């Protein structure tokens, strides 16, 4: 089958929120939303996203979602192999690919699907450009690009559309230095840190900040936690976050750790920024 003949509905593998005879309306794959703004014309096999004012063929969609070039998009469709990026539309695993290599690192583009995704999560161009890089990389001879932050072991923590995460190189936490060398803020993910910056909290970016990227890296911070007099905890309000908080108290000592209740009705800082309250456990 030729790439252009692959049905868009088959590619995105989602049910429409509203379906007519010739078209369907879907939740956009480019951002979190409650009302469908992504249209698929079944007869013409074309898509249009009203939220970003863009549309096109199935090849255009693959290039945008998979963050790849035309040639790679055609190969993905022709082989019926929608890659590890494709899987992130329905889940958000943290993945590591030892065979992945970085081609280049640049400042993020001021437009495009990655920035639109960040904006959909409440993060401005300026904040993204200050703290993240645009990473071009190759996996299994396919070229991709996404946003990333370097960790303390010189690996790159990658974030992309639809909560996609992976690491290129060694898994570790990142640290961003501030003016107050005796105070530390600790976050689970990149978007939690960026969200607190957007909120304009008085703490950041004055203090040092640690982004864990995964609760599993907390144990790596044991040595540096002892260097701080005060630790401001902005961990998630889910089961994993609560377990991580208990471990943090055991490592650093309860007297050092300050918690904040302004986002207690939300899963994390980003949901607080977006006003998305969590379902109660």
pLDDT tens profile 43-57: 999 999 887 778 899
pLDDT bucket at 244, cuts 50 / 70 / 90: very high
Mode of pairing for the β-strands spanning 18-19 and 174-176: unpaired
Helix axes 70-79, 58-66, angle to 10 degrees: 110
The residue-averaged pLDDT of 80-95 equals 51
pLDDT tens for residues 149-196?
999 999 999 998 877 888 898 899 999 999 888 999 999 999 999 999
Separation between Cα atoms, residue 116 and residue 123, nearest integer Å: 9
The residue-averaged pLDDT of 220-249 equals 94
Separation between Cα atoms, residue 132 and residue 254, nearest integer Å: 32
Indicate the helix (H) or strand (E) that contains 79: helix 70-79
Question: What is the residue-averaged pLDDT of the chain?
Answer: 87
Least confident of 27-36, 86-95, 187-196: 86-95
The residue-averaged pLDDT of 229-256 equals 95
180 or 245, which is more confident? 245
81: which 2 tokens? 């192999």
Q: Name the segment(s) of the chain with CATH classification 3.90.580.10.
A: 3-81
pLDDT value for 144: 86
pLDDT value for 81: 57
Percent of the chain with pLDDT over 70: 91
The residue-averaged pLDDT of 220-243 equals 93
The residue-averaged pLDDT of 125-138 equals 94
pLDDT value for 84: 45
Q: Is the pLDDT of residue 10 over 80?
A: yes
Q: Name the segment(s) of the chain with CATH classification 3.40.1360.10.
A: 174-274
Region 174-274: CATH code: 3.40.1360.10
pLDDT value for 271: 95
The residue-averaged pLDDT of 20-32 equals 86
Q: How many CB atoms lie within 10 A of CB 246?
A: 10
Residues 177/158, Cβ–Cβ less than 8 Å: no
By C-alpha distance, which of 151, 66, 140, 150 is closest to 99?
140
Kindly tell me the number of DSSP H helices and DSSP E strands found in the chain: 10, 16
State if pTM tops 0.75. Answer: no
133 or 55, which is more confident? 133
Class of domain 3-81: alpha beta
pLDDT value for 135: 93
């Amino acid at each position: 089958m030729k790439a252009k003949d692959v049905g868009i509905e088959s590619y995105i593998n989602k049910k429409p929120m509203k379906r007519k005879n010739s078209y369907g309306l879907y939740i956009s794959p480019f951002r979190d939303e409650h009302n469908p703004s992504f249209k698929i014309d079944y007869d013409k096999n074309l898509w249009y996203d009203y939220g970003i004012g863009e549309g096109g063929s199935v090849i255009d969609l693959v290039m945008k979602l998979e963050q790849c070039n035309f040639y790679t998009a055609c190969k993905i469709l022709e082989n019926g192999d929608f890659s590890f990026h494709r899987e992130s539309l329905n889940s958000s695993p943290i993945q590591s690919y030892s065979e992945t290599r970085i081609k280049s690192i640049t400042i993020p583009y001021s437009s495009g699907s990655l920035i639109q995704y960040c904006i959909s999560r409440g993060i401005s161009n300026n904040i993204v450009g200050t703290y993240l890089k645009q990473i071009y990389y190759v996996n299994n001879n396919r070229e991709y690009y996404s946003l990333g932050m370097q960790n303390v072991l010189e690996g790159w923590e990658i974030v992309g559309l639809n909560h996609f995460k992976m690491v290129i190189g060694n898994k570790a936490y990142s640290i961003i230095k501030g003016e107050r060398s005796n105070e530390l803020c600790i976050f689970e993910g990149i978007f939690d840190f960026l969200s607190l910056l957007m909120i304009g909290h008085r703490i950041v970016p004055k203090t040092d900040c640690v982004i864990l990227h995964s609760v599993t890296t907390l144990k790596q911070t044991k040595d540096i936690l002892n260097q701080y007099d005060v630790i401001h905890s902005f961990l998630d309000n889910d089961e994993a976050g609560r377990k991580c908080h208990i471990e943090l108290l055991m490592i650093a000592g309860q007297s050092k750790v300050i918690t904040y209740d302004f986002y207690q009705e939300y899963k994390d800082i980003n949901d607080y920024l977006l006003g998305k309250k969590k379902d109660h456990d």
